[in-house]
Structure formats: structure tokens, C-alpha cells
């Protein structure tokens, strides 16, 4: 084998008979944040790719050990800032399991409703930003309009626009404002009535389909090998969704509404289609939760807790189907008011590792299309 040399160059540099090492990021418009991609190129084709992470590392797992069980909720909801409610949910489910605590029925259904509204908010961001990265500016304006509809009802119930801090061990912070369910139902209906714009404007665009069909194909074997989950894994034919396969909250009673969206192609287009169809289904699930809440009698939404909350000695693992994939918390307690260890298994961390499999062999021009279709949040990688 002929030995090769590597030359570190900037964008636009080149050298004959040498591989070019190109750094995309850590500050770059196509990296979704502070992510660095180290690409080795042979002409226009990528031969090796290495995602370099850690630029946003906040030491959240270590900070968990110095905060009590009420305070860690604030830390947990920030790693995936587009899925704050779902992040909180995993923590309180783990603590409640350690305590053997039953949550009031109204709180269970309200958590399910808010988790699905949060899922729609997360997906709308990517449904708008992905076409933008491929040159289509219009969808992002529609996406933010729909997000604002739902943000209003989420902000009204919780007081927060991004970091809701509405989950509590034993339930939720407080009951709903008067008339909130009617306003939430109206917002869901409004968003659903305009979702066909993404079907027509984006999926019906021949340039978008040309840039994404057959590009960045991720095999089902690679999904299993790297622990890829969520819409990215399901787009490669891996039919797995914790809401159906290991139900939590009220999902066990929503089997007739819940639809696990899959595709077989595993390309960028399939990942976008999964995300879009899953958004439609999340709106249906939100309506089903609102219907069930209307049937429930008035009642509490939380449990009374001692002034100092201590989890019994032991360990447990709670995982949930977050918008971007599987989110898990491994909680170890020594019987104190703070966790001895709280390990976070985030969806984006595993999903982004698959880039080492996806990018080699593709053209540099397709790199942005592939990277954007992975639907990740950098804070969810670095934790």
C-alpha cells in the first residue's frame, strides 16, 4: 500500500497527491452549534469522518451529585433545550420508582399531554431548519408560526418558554389555569390545519427530494451497532418505540392512537418523512389526552412530599422516548438527599456517532444534507 501524507489546510486549500483534512466547526453555520467535524478528503469525496465533541461540556452529571432531588430537575431539562419537559420527566420517573410512589391519574394524563406537545415543538424546529440548510428559507417561518401557537399554551401552564420546570417528584407543579384545555385544543387544531404546508412545500419540492433521496443511507445494522434511536433509527426500518414497547405514563391506554412511524430506505428523505409523520401523530395523541382529561373528575396533580426528600438506598434506570430518541437516567442512591450517581444516556450522543459510518464515501456537497438530517442538539451530546 502506497504511504500517504496528511496536510492540514483551511477551506479552499488543496495539495496534489495528499489527503486533505478539513475541519468543519466548531463554529460553523452547518454544525447546529459547537460541534467539530474532522473530515479527511480525497478530492471531493470524504474518506474518513470524526465528530469531535466536548466543546459545550457543562459537567451536568457531576453537578447532579451536589443537588437535591428537587434541584436536579433544573439541570436535567437543559441538555436538550428543545425537549425540556421530556428531560425533566425521565428524572422524576426515576426518583418516583425509587420511592415506590404512585402519581395521581390527572398528573399522569397531563404529563403525557405535555410530553406530546413538547414533541411537536421539537420536531417543528427541525422541520423548518432542515430545509433552510438546503437552501429553502420559507419553511422556517411556517415552523416558527406553529411553534408560537403551542409555546403560548406551554408558557401559560408552566410559566416558561423553553425550560418549563413543571414536573415535580410526585406529579406536577400545579393544576391547570381555568380554560386552559380549551385553549390547548384550539392550538392543536390550528397547528394541524396548517401542517400540510410541510407536506406540500417541502416534500413536494423536487430540489429537496433530489438533495435527500438516496443520500446518507444508514443501515439497520449500523443503527443497532451505534445505539441510534428515535426517528433516525426508525427511518432505517428499526421498529422500536418505548411508548409502545415499554409503555410509561398513559401510553399503554393510547395504543389505538399511537402510530410508530417507520421507513425502510434509511436516507435523509426517510428521516425527514419519519419526523413529519410523527409530528402529525403527536398532535393526535395530544387530542386523545385532552379527551381523557375532560372525562376525569377534579383531583390532585401531585403528592405531598416531606421537606427533605431522600430516596432509599438502591439503584434504578428510567428511560423514555424523547423527541430525538431514547433518553435514560441511571440513578444510584445511598439514602441521602442528593443522588450518589445520576448517569445520563442522551439520544443525540449515540445518534451523532453514526456519522463515522454515514459520511465516508459521500461527497462534501452532501455533508450538510446528511448532518442536518441527524436531528441532534449539541447540548444533548456534551451534557
Q: How many CB atoms lie within 10 A of CB 262?
A: 19
Q: Which long-range contacts (CB under 8 A, 24 or more apart) does 197-204 make?
A: 197/139, 197/142, 198/127, 198/139, 198/142, 198/143, 198/276, 199/276, 201/136, 201/138, 201/139, 201/142, 202/127, 202/131, 202/136, 202/139, 202/272, 202/276, 203/272, 203/273, 203/276
Q: What is the dihedral of CA 339, 345, 349, 351, to 10 degrees?
A: -170
What stretches of the chain show up as alpha helix (H) in DSSP? 60-64, 72-76, 84-99, 105-133, 138-158, 180-194, 196-197, 206-212, 220-226, 230-234, 242-245, 268-295, 347-353, 355-358, 367-372, 378-382
Rounded CA separation 262/151 (Å): 28
Task: Identify the pLDDT of residue 59.
Answer: 87
Pairing outcome for strands 45-52 and 167-168: unpaired
Q: Which CATH superfamily is domain 60-381 in?
A: Cytochrome-c3 Hydrogenase, chain B (1.10.645.10)
pLDDT given at position 54: 87
Query: C-alpha cell of 172?
Result: 406536577
Q: What is the pLDDT of residue 15?
A: 47
**Predicted pLDDT of residue 351:** 94
DSSP state of 305: -
pLDDT of residue 10: 53
What gap in Å lies between CA 203 and CA 213, rounded to an integer?
Answer: 11
Region at 159 (left for phi over 0; alpha for psi -120 to 50; beta for the rest): left
Low-confidence ranges of the chain (pLDDT < 70): 1-18, 28-32
Number of CB atoms found within 10 A of residue 8's CB: 10
The pLDDT assigned to 322 comes to: 96
Strands of 325-333's sheet, edge to edge?
314-322, 325-333, 341-345
Question: Got the DSSP string for 12-35?
Answer: T---TTSEEEEEE-SS-TTTTSS-
Tell me what pLDDT residue 121 has. Answer: 96
Residue 21 has φ and ψ, to the nearest 5°, of: -100, 115
CB 316 within 8 A of CB 97: yes
Reading phi first (left if > 0) and then psi (alpha if -120 to 50, else beta), residue 125 is in alpha
Edge-to-edge order in the sheet of strand 19-24? 6-8, 19-24, 36-42, 45-52
Residue extents of the structural domains in the chain = 20-52, 60-381
pLDDT at 26: 82
Amino acid at each position: 500500500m502506497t504511504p500517504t501524507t496528511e496536510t492540514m489546510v483551511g477551506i479552499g486549500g488543496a495539495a496534489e497527491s495528499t489527503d486533505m483534512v478539513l475541519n468543519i466547526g466548531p463554529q460553523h453555520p452547518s454544525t447546529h452549534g459547537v460541534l467539530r467535524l474532522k473530515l479527511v478528503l480525497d478530492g471531493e469525496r470524504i474518506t474518513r469522518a470524526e465528530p469531535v465533541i466536548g466543546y459545550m461540556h457543562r459537567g451536568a452529571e457531576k453537578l447532579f451529585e451536589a443537588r437535591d432531588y428537587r434541584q436536579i430537575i433544573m439541570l436535567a431539562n437543559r441538555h436538550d433545550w428543545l425537549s425540556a419537559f421530556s428531560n425533566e420527566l425521565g428524572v422524576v420517573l426515576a426518583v418516583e420508582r425509587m420511592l415506590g410512589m404512585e402519581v395521581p391519574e390527572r398528573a399522569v394524563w397531563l404529563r403525557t399531554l405535555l410530553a406530546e406537545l413538547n414533541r411537536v415543538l421539537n420536531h417543528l424546529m427541525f422541520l423548518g431548519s432542515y430545509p433552510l440548510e438546503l437552501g429553502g428559507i420559507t419553511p422556517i417561518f411556517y415552523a416558527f408560526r406553529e411553534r408560537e401557537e403551542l409555546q403560548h399554551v406551554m408558557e401559560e401552564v408552566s410559566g416558561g418558554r423553553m425550560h418549563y420546570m413543571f414536573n415535580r417528584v410526585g406529579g406536577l407543579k400545579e393544576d391547570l389555569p381555568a380554560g386552559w384545555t380549551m385553549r390547548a385544543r384550539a392550538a392543536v387544531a390550528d397547528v394541524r390545519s396548517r401542517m400540510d404546508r410541510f407536506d406540500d412545500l417541502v416534500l413536494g419540492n423536487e430540489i429537496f427530494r433530489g438533495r435527500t433521496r438516496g443520500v446518507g443511507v444508514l443501515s439497520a445494522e449500523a443503527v443497532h451497532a451505534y445505539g441510534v434511536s428515535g426517528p433516525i433509527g426508525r427511518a432505517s426500518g428499526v421498529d422500536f418505540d418505548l411508548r409502545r414497547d415499554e409503555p410509561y405514563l398513559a401510553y399503554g391506554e393510547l395504543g389505538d392512537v399511537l402510530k410508530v412511524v417507520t421507513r425502510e430506505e434509511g436516507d435523509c428523505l426517510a428521516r425527514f418523512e419519519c419526523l413529519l409523520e410523527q409530528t402529525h401523530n403527536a398532535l393526535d395523541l395530544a387530542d386523545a389526552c385532552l379527551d381523557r382529561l375532560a372525562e376525569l373528575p377534579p383531583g390532585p396533580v401531585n403528592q405531598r412530599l416531606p421537606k427533605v426528600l431522600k430516596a432509599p438506598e438502591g439503584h434504578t434506570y428510567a428511560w423514555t422516548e424523547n423527541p430525538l430518541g431514547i433518553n435514560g437516567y441511571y440513578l444510584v442512591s445511598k439514602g441521602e438527599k442528593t443522588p450518589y450517581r445520576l448517569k445520563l444516556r442522551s439520544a443525540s450522543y449515540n445518534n451523532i456517532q453514526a456519522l463515522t459510518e454515514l459520511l465516508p464515501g459521500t461527497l462534501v456537497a452532501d455533508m450538510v444534507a446528511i448532518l442536518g438530517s441527524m436531528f441532534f442538539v449539541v447540548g444533548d451530546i456534551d451534557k
